[in-house]
């Protein structure tokens, strides 16, 4: 009877050993996967120095961007001033040309008046001279 109990105990222990062996293999596989994931994470993650270097580079790039934006704004302001100045000069030039055209018209009309008046006077004089001759 004792042998039978020992045999049962042996079978139970062997079954338990198989279960534990199976669980052990699963644990080894899980540990191996976790180690692989850890290595991937370590390769993908940055060291503190790399992180500090990248942050410094980002700061420098932000400063450069800020300077470029300030330069762009300054250029935009200067461009606006130049456009307004050109417009003002164009308007002034057009107004000056209109005044010049008006003055030239008046001079021309005055000259035409003088020419017409002179022609009338010359015709009168010719008429008087012609009468005096006959």
CB 130 within 8 Å of CB 122? no
Q: What local confidence, expressed as pLDDT, does residue 10 receive?
A: 87
Q: What local confidence, expressed as pLDDT, does residue 95 receive?
A: 97
Q: Bigger pLDDT: 10 or 63?
A: 63
Give one DSSP letter per residue of the chain, joined into a string.
Answer: -HHHHHHHHHHHHHHHHHHHHHHHHHHHHHHHHHHHHHHHHHHHSPPHHHHHHHHHHHHHHHHHHHHHHHHHHHHHHHHHHHHHHHHHHHHHHHHHHHHHHHHHHHHHHHHHHHHHHHHHHHHHHHHHHHHHH-
Residues 22-65 pLDDT 10s: 999 999 999 999 999 888 877 777 777 888 888 999 999 999 99
Q: What local confidence, expressed as pLDDT, does residue 92 receive?
A: 96
Q: So where are the chain's domains?
A: 2-103
CA gap 23, 16 in Å, rounded: 10
């Amino acid at each position: 009877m004792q042998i039978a109990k020992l045999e049962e105990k042996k079978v139970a222990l062997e079954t338990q050993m198989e279960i534990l062996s199976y669980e052990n293999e699963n644990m080894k596989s899980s540990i191996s996967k976790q180690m692989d994931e850890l290595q991937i994470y370590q390769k993908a993650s940055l060291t503190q120095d790399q992180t500090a270097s990248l942050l410094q580079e980002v700061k420098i790039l932000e400063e450069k961007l800020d300077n470029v934006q300030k330069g762009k704004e300054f250029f935009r302001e200067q461009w606006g001033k130049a456009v307004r100045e050109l417009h003002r000069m164009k308007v002034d030039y057009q107004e000056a040309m209109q005044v010049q055209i008006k003055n030239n018209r008046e001079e021309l009309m005055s000259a035409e008046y003088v020419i017409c008046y002179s022609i009338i006077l010359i015709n009168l004089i010719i008429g008087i001279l012609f009468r005096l001759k006959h």
